[in-house]
């Protein structure tokens, strides 16, 4: 009878295997310090659900590709694993969602504790960091874009319209403002003052009687309304520029998201969509650090990401391995100043090792340089002397110092057509510090240890991204705002590391079993062989 009442109920976990990942999650979460979670709840009122239990449930849900709170609510009533974790508690989807939002500032600490636990158990060392990035689409619609160039162009047009309108207002107040603001941008506050003063002047005027006076008043009121409309539009543009900051675009529904070109999209043509640049650091395919950035290129994210690792573990990684997207003078200098071994490629690392590159005598990299007298030698043997220097500044404020060298006389040179195409003498720009850092990186990358790191890098962060996006189906954020997206991925990173840990433990058990079976087969085979030999000896004696 399905509705039969059981007098002595059995254990909930009777049907859960001993090596099931749900047991690992329960034991590890119980060992974490969640005292900061208690401070998020009020002392008065109804007793809340245990945050430790909710954290277990959410992590296990993410581990099984369940990201919807409504689906988690259903699983708490149907799945024996969820029922065992919750202890027959059945929080609804609103409670689960509120819990995630409540701990969005504390979940990062939980991730750090887990990685430190993995380090203590010997799964990671935190001495090496494999870095890579990927674009993850935001929840915002792709048609909610705001572009900086469009805003600045429309704002400039509006400024010109405001000047023309104020010049048409035959009032001393407006004329004075136009004269004072000539060459200076208007502000919404300035336009508000002009509109208020014009309205006050209209109120102080006597009631018009003639048609001409009435027409003039109507025209003045219309101009005041236009000024107020332009003020509102200008205020809107100013708000867009303030939200943009240093970015070139953002989404109206998710202002923290920036429009980036995504590789994975429904049309397979690399559409521009709102998203975040996710950077992760891995070791042994465990996620050791992660961060979200607005800028789509990876070069400008490396230093803040390395600082994130330092803030999380109070030290920098001793070795950093990344692809050529991170190779820049600023990044190399930062890693050198913090005693980090930079196994980081630069743009032409593979090209300069090809024969065509090395045999090209006209390339700047292949010209002979005399550091003592500071000159280069062109292919014809002419000295290219130092004639000046210049500085270049990156978007982050890093300054590069570049030296300029020029040949003395290129006219009549038989190699001029192959050497350069400028009208005068050949001029080259050289960044000596960058060349030194590239040489240091090249020596590291081509060493025996560097070859190991390079062969390891593609199966570290790239494999993690593949598992997250393909196996776990995590290709798009399900929240608005950078903080909530950071919280969501923190839970996913915890679930990913625990899933990886459970698989490693299961693999070790299977290896032991395989080894045991192999030893058993060897023993049986040995005993059979001995038995056969004995029987052969006995048979031989009988025959004799």
Cα–Cα distance measured from residue 68 to residue 62, given in angstroms and rounded to the nearest whole number: 9
List beta partners, residue 359.
Answer: none
Whether the CB-CB separation of 270 and 201 falls below 8 Å is answered with no
pLDDT tens-digit series, residues 33-79: 998 888 888 888 888 899 999 999 999 999 999 999 999 999 999 99
Separation between Cα atoms, residue 125 and residue 317, nearest integer Å = 9
Q: Between the CA atoms of 441, 444, 445 and 449, what dihedral angle is there, to the nearest 10 degrees?
A: -160
- Per-residue pLDDT for 32 more than 60? yes
Buried b (16+ CB within 10 A) or exposed e, 315-336: ebbebbbbbebbbbbbbbbbbe
Spatial neighbors of 24 by CB under 8 A, at least 6 apart, are 498, 501, 502, 505
H-helix or E-strand spanning residue 164: helix 148-168
pLDDT band, residue 171 (cuts 50/70/90): low
Structure token digits, residue 359? 């045999």
Tens digit of pLDDT for each residue in 241-269? 999 988 899 999 999 999 998 876 556 66
Instruction: Point out the least confidently predicted range of 234-243, 265-274, 383-392.
Output: 265-274
- Determine the Cα–Cα distance for residues 531 and 544; give it in Å rounded to an integer: 20
What DSSP string describes 408-449? Answer: S--TT-TTHHHH---SSS-EEEE-HHHHHHHHHHHHHHHSHH
pLDDT value of residue 509:
45
Q: How confident is the model at residue 160 (pLDDT cuts 50, 70, 90)?
A: confident
CA atoms of 96 and 49, how far apart (whole Å) = 10
Residue whose C-alpha is closest to residue 185's, from 163, 164, 170: 163
Cβ count within 10 A of residue 207: 7
Position 532 scores a pLDDT of 53
Decide: 192 and 274 in contact? Cβ < 8 Å. no
H/E stretch holding 55: helix 51-63
pLDDT at 266: 56
Average pLDDT, integer, range 414-439: 89
Distance CA 35, CA 231 (A): 51
Closest CA to 481 of 225, 119, 181, 105: 105
Specify the pLDDT at position 513.
43
DSSP string, 296-348: SSSGGGHHHHHHHHHHHHSS--SEEEE-GGG--HHHHHHHHHTT-EEEE--TT
Q: What is the rounded (10 degree) CA torsion for 433, 435, 441, 444?
A: -110
| Residue 19 vs residue 540, higher pLDDT | 19
pLDDT at 117 over 50: yes
Residue range 431-473, pLDDT digits in tens: 999 999 999 999 999 999 999 999 999 899 999 999 999 999 9
Return the SS3 of 129: strand
CA distance 426 to 144: 49
% helix, strand, coil for the chain, step of 5: 55, 15, 30
Q: What is the pTM of this model?
A: 0.83
The DSSP string of 359-390 is H-TTSGGGSEEETTTTEEE-TTS-EEEEEEEE
Question: Cβ distance 406 to 385 under 8 Å?
Answer: yes
The mean pLDDT of the chain is 86
Query: What is the SS3 assignment for 216?
Result: helix
Percent of the chain with pLDDT over 70: 87
Predicted pLDDT of residue 510: 44
Contact assessment for residue 149 and residue 157, using Cβ atoms and an 8 Å cutoff: no
Distance CA(19)–CA(34), nearest Å, equals: 25
Return the axis-axis angle of helices 69-78 and 93-102, rounded to nearest 10°: 120
CB atoms within 10 A of CB 494: 26
pLDDT at 521: 54
Are 22 and 84 in contact by the 8 Å Cβ rule? The answer is yes
| Burial letters 6-23, b for 16+ CB under 10 A, else e | eeeeeeebeebeeebbbb
């Amino acid at each position: 009878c399905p509705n039969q009442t059981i007098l002595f109920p059995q254990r909930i976990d009777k049907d859960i295997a001993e090596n099931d990942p749900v047991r690992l999650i329960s034991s590890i979460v119980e060992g974490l310090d969640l005292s900061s979670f208690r401070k998020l709840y009020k002392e008065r009122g109804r007793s809340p659900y245990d945050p430790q239990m909710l954290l277990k449930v959410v992590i296990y849900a993410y581990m099984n590709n369940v990201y919807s709170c409504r689906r988690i609510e259903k699983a708490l009533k149907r799945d024996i694993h969820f029922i065992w974790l919750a202890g027959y508690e059945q929080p609804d989807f609103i409670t689960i969602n509120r819990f995630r939002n409540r701990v969005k500032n504390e979940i990062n600490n939980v991730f750090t504790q887990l990685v430190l636990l993995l380090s203590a158990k010997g799964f990671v060392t935190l001495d090496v960091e494999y870095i890579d990035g990927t674009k993850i689409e935001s929840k915002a619609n792709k048609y909610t874009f705001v572009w900086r160039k469009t805003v600045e162009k429309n704002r400039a047009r509006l400024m010109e319209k405001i000047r023309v309108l104020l010049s048409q207002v035959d009032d001393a107040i407006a004329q004075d403002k136009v004269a004072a603001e000539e060459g200076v941008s208007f502000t919404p506050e300035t336009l508000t003052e002009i509109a208020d003063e014009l309205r006050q002047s209209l109120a102080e005027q006597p009631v018009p009687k003639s048609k001409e006076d009435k027409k003039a008043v109507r025209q003045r009121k219309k101009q005041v309304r236009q000024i107020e409309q332009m003020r509102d539009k200008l205020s809107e543009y100013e708000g867009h520029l303030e939200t943009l900051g240093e970015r070139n675009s953002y989404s109206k529904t998710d202002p923290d998201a920036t429009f980036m070109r995504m590789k994975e999209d429904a049309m397979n043509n690399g559409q521009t969509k709102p998203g975040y640049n996710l950077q992760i650091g891995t070791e042994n395919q465990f996620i050791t650090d992660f961060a979200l950035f607005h800028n789509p290129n990876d070069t400008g994210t490396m230093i803040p990401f390395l600082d994130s690792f330092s803030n999380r573990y109070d030290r920098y990684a001793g070795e950093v391995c990344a692809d050529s997207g991170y190779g820049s003078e600023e990044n190399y200098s930062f890693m050198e100043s913090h005693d980090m071994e930079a196994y980081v490629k630069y743009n032409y690392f593979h090209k300069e090792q090809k024969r065509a590159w090395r045999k090209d005598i006209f390339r700047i990299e292949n010209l002979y340089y005399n550091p003592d007298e500071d000159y280069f030698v062109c292919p014809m043997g002419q000295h290219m002397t130092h004639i000046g220097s210049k500085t270049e500044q990156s978007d982050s404020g890093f300054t590069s110092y570049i030296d300029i060298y020029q040949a003395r006389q290129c006219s009549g040179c038989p190699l001029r057509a192959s050497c350069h195409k400028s009208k005068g003498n050949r001029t080259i720009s050289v960044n000596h510090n960058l060349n030194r850092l590239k040489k240091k990186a090249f020596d590291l990358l081509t060493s025996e240890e560097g070859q190991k790191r390079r062969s390891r890098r593609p199966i570290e962060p790239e494999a993690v991204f593949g598992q997250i996006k393909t196996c776990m189906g995590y290709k798009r954020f399900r929240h608005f705002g950078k903080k909530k997206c950071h919280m969501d991925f923190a839970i996913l990173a915890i679930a990913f590391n625990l899933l990886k840990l459970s698989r490693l433990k299961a693999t070790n058990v299977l290896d032991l079993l395989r080894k045991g079976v192999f030893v058993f087969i060897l023993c049986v085979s040995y005993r059979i062989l001995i038995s056969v030999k004995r029987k052969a000896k006995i048979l031989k004696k009988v025959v004799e």
